[in-house]
Structure formats: C-alpha cells, structure tokens
Structure 1
Amino acid sequence: MSNSTDFHPDYFLLMGIPGLEDSHLLISIPFSIMYVLSLLGNSALVLVISANESLHQPMYIFLMMLATSDVLLSSTTVPKTLSIFWFANHQISFIGCLTEVFFVHFFFCTESAILLSMAYDRYCAICHPLTYTTTLTNSFIQKTAMVALFRSIFVITPFAFLLHRLPFQRSNVIGHTYCEHMSVARLATSNIMVNVVYGLVIAACSTGVDLVLIIISYAAIIMAVLRLPSSEARLKAFNTCVCHTCVIVLFYIPAFFSFIAHRVGHRHISQQFHIIFANLYVLVPPMMNPIIYGIKTREIRQRALAMLCRGTPNVFGGKCF
C-alpha cells in the first residue's frame, strides 16, 4: 500500500457514511436532487445575468461570481460522493485526494470573499448611495475578484503541502464522503499539530475575518435603513438584506460546524451526523442561492421570464404570461 521512500499510499478509500452503508442508495436521492437543482439554478442565473446588459451592475456581477463558485464547489465533491453511493467506487488516488482537499477549501475561501464583496456592495448602495457608482467601478470589481482568487491560492495551497509531508503507514481508509483536510490528516502516523494550528489560524484570519466584516457591514446597513424616512424605502432595503442574510447563514453555519467538529467535537459528535452536516455546505447553499435571489430579486425574475417567453408561441392571444 505504501511507497517505501515517502510512506504515501497509492490511494485512499473513501467509505462514504460509515454505519449507514445500507442506506447509501437512499441517501443519494436527496443528494443528487440537490446537486441537479444547483447546476440548473446557478447555470440559469449566470446565463440570465450575462445575457442582459441591464444586469451588468456590481450587485449582479458579484451574484454571477457567487453562482459560478457554487457550481465549482459542489462539483468538486458531489460527483465522487454519488459514485460511492451508486457504484461503491471508494478508491481515490493520493494526489487526487490532495487535489480535492485543495479545491474544496479553495472554493469555500473564494466564496467567503465574494459574500464579503456583496455585503460591501450593499453597504455602499444603502449607506453611501451618492458615491456608489464611482466606488464600485468595473476596475474595482476586477481587482476584488483577483484579490479573492490570489488570497485563496495563498492560504489554501499550504494545506496540500502539510498533508504531503505526513507519513501514512497505518491506514488508508477515510471515513468520509470526500477528502477534507483534517479527515485525511488524522490518518497520519506522525504529529499533526501543525495541521491543526494552521487550519485554525487560516479559519480565523480569512473566513473568520470575512464573517466579522460582513456582520459589521450589515449592522451599519440596518442603522442606515432605520433612519430612512419612507416606510416603503425601509421595506425595500430590508428585503434586500434578508436575501443576503439567508445566503450567509446557509453558507457559514454548516461550514463552521464541520470545521469545529473536526478539531474539537469529533469525540462527542457522531460520525454519521458530522459527515452528513459536512455535505450540507457543498450542497444546500449552491441549491438555495438561485432560489433565494431568483424569487426575491424582481429584475432577475423579470429577465428570466422574458428569456423564457422570447420566441415561444402562445395560444392565449400571442402574449407570454
């Protein structure tokens, strides 16, 4: 199983959800439904925004970036998970596992930065509307995207190297549906304190800071909204904030629970519950984001309906409803 020079196994075995092997096929049904809805919803969102010049505004561009990141995040893990459930395809190469570790954390970190950018966009739109167009220019958006990508590469790449340096001489069986940094590190036969500490530092200094800044932004937004003289304006602003708040809650809570459970509560939380919850942050936010924004954002809803109606014959007087 192991190479004699570097003590790395040729492959790992992903066991899916240990203890629930008989239910894998049943569990795959909601997993596959959520994944398909995620692909369809986010692809539709990208298509609608990219095809309509009227939606080429900062808020919608950030939303298109979020949809792209959602598709890539879920596609990093779900196809392999479903192959385990459907075909008992448990094997993944050592390099393939490290690659999956990198991209899972890379897209999570990138999506966190995008959510922060969206919060800043709403802060500028509501708290500083007069300078909004001069602040959130195309150049600013491009620089924001580049910073998000380079930050993710810079902070996530060490995860792969930290795992590569470890010897795996005892077991190559991972009790999970996909390769996660700590689920792989715990198989090592040497001290993994560096992995634990680095993971905590990165979580605190990247996604943790993002979440704190998002909370500060929305606190300022709420204070500004409460000062608006018109009840209609307050309601419109709050509706916008509700969309973003739902997305943020769906994204961060499952991810941080999984992160903390791996490092603190892995002895007190059942493995089955932990693994199912760990899959939620790669399945539920990508599925729900298009639904939340599609239903709550009138402009996107109208453009989507217009694209569906365009060129479609209608028996009710030639009008599309």
Structure 2
Amino acid sequence: MLQNNQTTSSVVTEFFIVGFPGLPPKYYNLMAAVLLCIYLAILTGNSLIVVLFIIERSLHKPMYLIMLSLSLSDIGFCTVALPKVISRYWFNDGYLAFYVCLLQRQLIHYFGTLNSLIMMVMALDRYLAICYPLRYPVLMTNRTMKIFIGLSWATGFIAPTISSMMTVQMPFCGPNLILHCFCDSVSMNQLACADIRQQSLISYGIATFVLLAPFSFIIFSYANILVSVLRIANAQGRLKALSTCTTQMTIIVIYYVPRFAVYTMPYIPNTPLNSSQKIALVMIYSLLPPLVNPFIYCIRIKEIRQFFLKWFVQRNRMNSRFDGVTFS
C-alpha cells in the first residue's frame, strides 16, 4: 500500500516508481510502448556491436575494445532502468522492495560511472594515437587496453557503493513514492525522514567528481590532439587525423553536453522546469547515447562499414545463385 503521510511508527519496505508525475493515465500505454521500443532498439543495436566484435577478427583492436565495453555498459544500464518503468505504465506494477530499489540505484550509478570512465579511456586512446603515432602500437596494445577497461569496470563500483552505504543507513519511515523512472540517489534521499544535508552534499560531491574528473582529462586530451593536428603541414594528413577521432568526439559530446545542460539549467534565470520536465531531460540524456551510438559506429567506422558491405555482397551472390537454379 502506498504511504503518503510521514510517520515514525511505520517503516518503508518497498517503493513505488511514479515515472513522470504529470503524465495523464490515458497516455500510460503509449508511454510504455515508446519506452519498450527504445529499449528494444538499444538492445538490438548494441548487441549487434557485441556480435560483430565476436565474429569479426579485424575488430579485435584497442579502439573496438572500448566500443565493446561501451555497448555492454549501455545494455546493462537500460536493462536495469527500463523494464520496471515499462511495467509500471503497462500493468501499474511499479513496486520495488527496499533492497531491490537500492540495488537498482547502485547499478544505475555504476553504469553511469563506468560510461564516464570508458569515455576517459577513449580519450586516452585517441591522444596516444594522434600525439604519439609511432609509439602508439607499443603503448596501446590489446593487453594494455584490456587492463584499462578492466580497471574501469572494477573501480566504477567504488563511488556508487560509498553513496549506497550512506543511503542504507538513512531512516525511511514515511513517503515511498519515487518521483522518477528508476531509483537513484536524489529520489531516494528525498524520502528519508531525517536531516540528510550532509549525505546529500557528499553524494553531490561524489557525483561531481565522477563526472568532472574524467571530463577534465578528456578536455586535456582533445586539446593536445587539436594542437598536434594543427602542426601537421599536410592538409590531407590533418583531415585524416581528425577523422580518426570524430566518432569518439561525437559520442563524448552526446554523453556530456545534455548532462551539463540539466545540471546548469536550475541556475539560469527564466528557465523553470517542473518535475516531469526534469525527469524527461534525465531520460533523454540517459537513453540518447546508447540509442545512437551503434548507428554512429556503423556510419563512421571504416572496418564496420566494410564488414556490412562484404556481408551484403556475399548475400547478393548467394541470392543470384539461387535465382539461377531451375527445379524440374
């Protein structure tokens, strides 16, 4: 049963995912269908990248290890975040047990942290490739990249775990409505029936560090890349150097710019946002990168384009052979 009145005698054992607070019930089925289509598109596109990496040996290179990790992380994030809110709108089943909500919160922030770390490794890879092209094959081997990726997957748990340990110690004795599409730090902390200013400050500091530390390194890396590219005398060489990191720069921009827009908007005059609009913006910057990344890979990356071209040529040849066969 939903608990809306704050009391000290009851203890919250489950939460209810509200989703978009201002959404009329007549649009629930439509919202569930839209979210399901987005989830299936993300799952299909990123799974395709994983399958391509497995079956095509020419993709077993450091850069593609990064993209494989990013695809796996995107699949993990959307699988954690979307099924429950889809269920909430389709079947009015938005209930999550306390520790299930806490686990979802942990994984949501884990995959967000992991993506940020993978972006940093991506920038490092391009920095070494452009600024130290002769030493790049020695500095960035598959083994080295696997170490960086493994460290990212391992250390990504640290910040969310610290924040989760603080959350689990908070008393929850009143409202249990999560005003979001999934359990996250802000939505859960707001329901605690205690003074949480210190915990909120620590959580905000951790989130800021997780976002800004990799972003600062990314800015440093691409600034050095730009300087190195401008020093190339040959115009064709400059264009080739820039094209090698255009894909990753696009992914980084899609990931970071909407986040900074959401974080800075409350401090910009005459830009009021209600709760539904804020949640919509969060969902856009959370789901847009995993949705468009596979398309960017396929359009921008030469090896992937060549794989699909080779596949289409082979398929057409097989179809031509079957068309030429006559049956008596």
Instruction: Tell me if both proteins adopt one fold, taking TM over 0.5 as the criterion.
Output: yes
Q: Give CA-to-partner distance per residue, 1:166-222, whole Å, 9 cap, x none.
A: 111221111111101111100111011232222222123222110011011111111
Aligned to 2:299: 295
Give the Cα–Cα distance (whole angstroms) in 2 for the partners of residues 49 and 307 of structure 1: 15
Give the Cα–Cα distance (whole angstroms) in 2 for the partners of residues 16 and 292 of structure 1: 29
SS in 2 for 1:13: strand
Gap runs ≥5 in structure 2: 324-328
Aligned to 2:24: 21
Q: Give CA-to-partner distance per residue, 1:85-122, whole Å, 9 cap, x none.
A: 21111111101100010000001101111111111111
Aligned to 2:103: 99
SS in 1 for 2:16: strand
| TM, length-normalised to structure 1 | 0.90
Residue 33 (structure 1) shift: 2.2
Give the Cα–Cα distance (whole angstroms) in 1 for the partners of residues 58 and 14 of structure 2: 49
Task: Give the direction of change, closer, same or farther, for the CA distance of 1:306–1:50 in structure 2 (3 Å limit).
Answer: same
Picking from 168, 171, 186, the partner of 2:172 is 168
Whether the 8 Å CA contact 2:47–2:71 is kept in 1: the answer is: yes
Query: 1:9 corresponds to which letter in structure 2?
Result: V
Task: Give the direction of change, closer, same or farther, for the CA distance of 1:264–1:316 in structure 2 (3 Å limit).
Answer: same
Q: Give CA-to-partner distance per residue, 1:48-74, whole Å, 9 cap, x none.
A: 122222111111111111111111111
Task: Give the direction of change, closer, same or farther, for the CA distance of 1:225–1:294 in structure 2 (3 Å limit).
Answer: same
Task: Give the direction of change, closer, same or farther, for the CA distance of 1:264–1:154 in structure 2 (3 Å limit).
Answer: farther
Q: Does 1:233 align with 2:237?
A: yes
Give the Cα–Cα distance (whole angstroms) in 1 for the partners of residues 253 and 193 of structure 2: 37
Picking from 143, 149, 158, the partner of 1:145 is 149
Give the Cα–Cα distance (whole angstroms) in 1 for the partners of residues 62 and 191 of structure 2: 44
Picking from 30, 33, 48, the partner of 2:34 is 30
RMSD: 2.7
Task: Give the direction of change, closer, same or farther, for the CA distance of 1:218–1:8 in structure 2 (3 Å limit).
Answer: farther
Aligned to 1:49: 53
Residues 103-114 of structure 1: pairs in structure 2 closer than 5 A: 103-114=107-118
Task: Give the direction of change, closer, same or farther, for the CA distance of 1:191–1:257 in structure 2 (3 Å limit).
Answer: farther
Residue 5 (structure 1) shift: 11
Query: 1:164 corresponds to which letter in structure 2?
Result: V
Aligned to 2:13: 10
Residue 6 (structure 1) shift: 10
Whether the 8 Å CA contact 1:126–1:224 is kept in 2: the answer is: yes
Task: Give the direction of change, closer, same or farther, for the CA distance of 1:317–1:180 in structure 2 (3 Å limit).
Answer: same
Whether the 8 Å CA contact 1:7–1:167 is kept in 2: the answer is: no
Percent identity for Structure 1 against Structure 2: 30
Query: 1:292 corresponds to which letter in structure 2?
Result: I
Query: 2:302 corresponds to which letter in structure 1?
Result: R
Q: Give CA-to-partner distance per residue, 1:16-68, whole Å, 9 cap, x none.
A: 11110322322334322222111111111111122222111111111111111
Residues 1-321 of structure 1: pairs in structure 2 closer than 5 A: 8-22=11-25, 23-258=27-262, 268-307=272-311, 310=314, 314-316=318-320
Residue 256 (structure 1) shift: 4.2
Whether the 8 Å CA contact 2:62–2:145 is kept in 1: the answer is: yes
Q: Which has the larger radius of gyration?
A: 2
Give the Cα–Cα distance (whole angstroms) in 2 for the partners of residues 228 and 318 of structure 1: 52
Give the Cα–Cα distance (whole angstroms) in 1 for the partners of residues 257 and 92 of structure 2: 30
Task: Give the direction of change, closer, same or farther, for the CA distance of 1:260–1:187 in structure 2 (3 Å limit).
Answer: farther
| TM, length-normalised to structure 2 | 0.88
Query: 1:14 corresponds to which letter in structure 2?
Result: I
Give the Cα–Cα distance (whole angstroms) in 2 for the partners of residues 263 and 198 of structure 1: 20
Task: Give the direction of change, closer, same or farther, for the CA distance of 1:94–1:80 in structure 2 (3 Å limit).
Answer: same
Whether the 8 Å CA contact 1:183–1:262 is kept in 2: the answer is: no
SS in 2 for 1:188: coil
SS in 2 for 1:130: coil
Whether the 8 Å CA contact 1:31–1:283 is kept in 2: the answer is: no
